[in-house]
Amino acid sequence: MWHSVQFRVMLVVGIILSASIAVLLAYTAGTHERELLRHALSHTSRISDMAAQSIREEMAAHRTTEIVSILDAFTQEDELERIRLFDKEGTIVLSTERSEVHERVDMTHEMCIKCHTDGAPAVMPPPLERGRTFEGADGHRRLAIITPIYNGTPCYGCHDRSQNVLGVLDGIFSLQDVDASIQRVRRAAILSGVIAILFVWVGVAFALQRFVRQPVMRLLQGTERVAEGDLDCQLAVSSDDELGKLCAAFNAMTAKLRRAADARERWGRELENKVKTATKELEEANERLREADRRRSEFIRTVIHQLRAPVSGMQSFVRLITNQIVGDLNPKQQEMLGRVDKKCGLLLATVNDLLDMAAVSENRFQRAAESVDLCALAARCVSQFSHLADKKGVALALELEAEPAHVTATVRDLEYAVSNLLSNAVNYTLEGSVRVTVKTESDRVVLSVSDTGIGIMEDDLPHCFRDFYRGDNVTEHVYEGTGLGLSIVKKVVEKYGGDIDLESTLGVGTTVTISLPKDGT
């Protein structure tokens, strides 16, 4: 409730208006009360004057009985409750309260000081200022007024006015009726005030409800609906004030949002369709590509297989003949068949390399990498090449500086790489030695194959790892190869996070170093 604008505005406006009404009514009632009192005072003073006039002559003649009867007549008046007559000395000579008679009042008494200052002769103030009010023992208010009794106008010609005072009359009047009127006025003022305040509050509440709260609540509900995504929400515009304009602006805004959302949705659907179509096309294309790739691989394998078997057969027959198992040959025939043997060997090497390359790039039937001891593997490879090295008269040495030296790879890939390096080293070495070393350097295992072979020309060094690249000096010699070996070795080594390095001096020798991450690092 406290968090409602209506309540807050109502509270502030209501308090201000109520206070205004209260002040206005209090002021009016106060004015009215004062008027009533003045009226009573003027009436009282008139009666007192009349009484004083009436007893003047009797007093001058000291006719007490007459004075009493005249005053008795005055006390018959409703308002005049009591009357007292003082002589010039301040002694009560007559009173409706018999017990007071002969009592003397000092000049400092509150009823005296209105006219007398320090006991000096009176300076007469106007009658309205002579009155005084006090509360009696019964709780009702009284109005008292002192009226001087003079000798009479005819005497003023000779006597000083102050010396002609015979006494003073103190009339005490009841204010019961006046106070009752005042009470009525007050009650009426309070009642009308309460009714007016009630009307003010109800009116303010109604106006706020009608002109502020309702449109604001409509706007609030509309905003919530829009927030929930209902863009068709339109508000009733019930007035042409600021809030009405706000409602109209709200309607315009939601309509605009609706149009934008529609456009976006259309665009999104179009985009989605496009993406779907494109994805489908891509999937189909991809599938076709996979199929084509599968067929290509299949084709390559078939071709290789179909090539291998006949070449292998041819070479075996040729060797049968050159070994003179089936009959003698003349030297020319021997030499020519030797060439056929070599060509067959080259053809088989090419086919094998192509097959290896296909296997490395396809990862086909690839086993999971495992922990492999490079020392044991190198030893195995060296033993495989010992026959060829012996035949060529090349010394083949193996140095294992750290044994074992485990790396993570597949046996097949590592064997391929090491065999290939050994094959190159043995084949391109005419005389001298081939040395294989395995050692560990911090977190790497390093294998190097050094030979004292023909070497590689400086210009060829940067190209050695390219597919089908062969150095110029190689073709001068009898060694025949495909130029694929180092390229495949590099691919294999890099697959396991390794590096390959090649150092060579023409005519002196070549060192190929591969380094692989050590296991557990």
Q: Which positions touch other proteins (CB under 8 A)?
A: 304-305, 308-309, 311-313, 315-317, 319-320, 323, 325-326, 344, 348, 352, 355-356, 358-359, 364-365, 367, 370, 380, 387, 410-412
Provide the minimum distance between the beta carbon of 490 and other proteins in the complex, in angstroms, as a whole number. Answer: 19
- Shortest CB 351 distance to other proteins, Å: 9
Please give the Cα distance from 495 to 356 (Å, whole number): 14
CA distances from 498 to 368, 409, 513, 520 (A): 17, 10, 10, 15
Q: Please say which residue, 280 or 294, places its beta carbon nearer to other proteins.
A: 294
Q: How far is the CB of 482 from other proteins (least distance, A)?
A: 14
Q: Report which DSSP code applies to 136.
A: -
For other proteins, which is the closer residue by CB, 58 or 356? 356
Output 122 or 411, the one with its CB closest to other proteins. Answer: 411
Least separation, in Å, of the C-beta of 487 and other proteins?
Answer: 17
Where would I find the H helices in 90-175? Answer: 127-130
Residue 219: burial class (beta carbons within 10 Å; 0-12, 13-18, 19+): middle
Asked if residue 426 lies in contact with residue 385, where contact means CB atoms within 8 angstroms, the answer is yes
CB-nearer residue toward other proteins: 212 or 411:
411
d(CA 419, CA 427): 12
Q: In the complex with other proteins, which residue's Cβ is closer, 175 or 359?
A: 359
Rounded to 10 deg, the angle between the 64-75 and 5-60 helix axes is 160
How far, CA to CA in Å, does 482 sit from each of 55, 398, 477, 501? 165, 27, 14, 20
Please say whether the beta carbons of 159 and 151 come within 8 A.
yes
Identify whether the C-beta of residue 476 lies closer than 8 Å to the C-beta of residue 438: no
Contact 173, 40 (CB under 8 A): yes
Tell me how far apart the alpha carbons of residues 211 and 163 are, in angstroms, rounded to a whole number.
79
Q: Dig out the tokens for 345 from the structure.
A: 């060997």
Q: Supply the minimum distance, in Å, between the C-beta of residue 506 and other proteins.
A: 32
Backbone torsions φ then ψ of 76, nearest 5 degrees: -65, -25
C-beta closer to other proteins: residue 79 or 415: 415
Query: How many Å separate Cα 240 from the centre of its chain?
Result: 36
According to DSSP, residue 211 is labeled: I
Q: How far is the CB of 378 from other proteins (least distance, A)?
A: 14
CB of 441 to other proteins, least distance (A): 26
Distance, in Å, from the CA atom of 249 to the CA atom of 241, rounded to the nearest integer, reads: 12
Taking the least distance from each CB to other proteins, the nearer of 355 and 502 is 355
> Shortest gap between Cβ of 475 and other proteins (angstroms)?
25
By C-beta, is 337 or 358 nearer to other proteins? 358
Do 510 and 502 contact (CB within 8 A), yes or no? yes
Closer CB to other proteins, 313 or 497, in the complex: 313
Type and span of the H or E element at 202: helix 176-208
Nearer to other proteins, 304 or 502 (CB): 304
Residue type, 494: E
Interstrand relation of 80-87 and 92-95 (parallel, antiparallel or unpaired): antiparallel
Secondary structure of residue 462 in the 3-state scheme: helix
415 neighbors 377 (Cβ within 8 angstroms): yes
Place of tokens 């934008």: 260
CB of 316 to other proteins, least distance (A): 4
* Shortest spacing between CB 325 and other proteins, in angstroms: 5
Closest CB 395 distance from other proteins, rounded Å: 21
Residue 172 or 357 having the CB closest to other proteins: 357
Nearer to other proteins, 51 or 311 (CB): 311
**Exposed/middle/buried for residue 349 (C-beta within 10 Å: 0-12, 13-18, 19+):** middle
Query: Are 81 and 171 in contact, with CB atoms under 8 Å apart?
Result: no
How near is the Cβ of 308 to other proteins at its closest, in Å? 6
